[in-house]
Amino acid sequence: MNQGRRYLITGGTNGIGRACAAHLTEAGAAVWITGTSVANVTAAVGSGAARGGSVCDVRDDASVNTAVLEAVEGLGGLDGVFANAGIDGAGRPAAELDSHSFQHVLDVNMVGVFRVCRASYRHLARPGTIVVNASVNAQRPEAGFTDYNVSKAAAVALARSLALEWSSEGLSVIALCPGYFPSRMTEQYLNNEKTAAELLEQIPAGRFGDLTEIGATLEFLLGPNAHFMTGGVVTLDGGRSL
């Protein structure tokens, strides 16, 4: 289904992004990743997870534009983009958040996604697909993570807004809302026995996600059979959003 297709994954050097890059590569796609350091990009590409990669700061327009161009040139075009790069919130009560750190989370998790989508728009083949990595927190917020909750809810609204404008051109935009999967961002919670137990109580499936599951889901969403899902919000959370 994805043999020979060309995909860009931002934040593809670790966690969900890297797992998805490796999955799509194994499925026969040509994958380009971005990361925030030369060392991380080199390591991921060297492992065989992707064909190539670029160092990119999604907070910077020029950096994003350059990375997208490098992906297009390196792959010979783009059929899909996984706008995945993101950061965690401060993990503090809302009353203790300062506006600068709050704005930083929004700049990466929402405005950064917009930058990636906007830069990719003019290069994506039609039909093509953009999948925005949001979070179950967009639908079921967690106390102590107001900055992260808001940024991911905004990412969903962004995906749906872009779907309204771009779907008629053959460009599908879909929001993916994962629950808890093992990653560098979540290891501090999943590796803490008390915290992990509390989280599992909120997940009807009684377990955390497996990275192979999100790779397979993304493979379908980016593939040629999911274009009519444009504007959709796909949950992959073991029922936590219920």
With a cut of 70, say whether residue 1 has pLDDT above it.
Answer: no
Domain ranges of the chain: 6-183+211-235
**Helix (H/G/I), strand (E/B), else coil: 241:** coil
Contacts of 151 (CB under 8 A, 6+ apart): 86, 89, 105, 106, 108, 109, 110
Tell me 110's DSSP state.
I
Averaged pLDDT for residues 36-44: 97
User: What is the band of 102 on the pLDDT scale with cuts at 50, 70, 90?
Assistant: very high
User: Using one digit for the tens of pLDDT, what is the confidence trace for 162-197?
Assistant: 999 999 999 999 999 999 898 877 878 878 888 888
Could you tell me what percent of the chain has a pLDDT over 90?
Answer: 90
What CATH superfamily is the domain 6-183+211-235?
A: NAD(P)-binding Rossmann-like Domain (3.40.50.720)
DSSP string, 141-163: --TT-HHHHHHHHHHHHHHHHHH
Averaged pLDDT for residues 127-150: 96
Q: What is the CB neighbour count within 10 angstroms for residue 5? A: 24
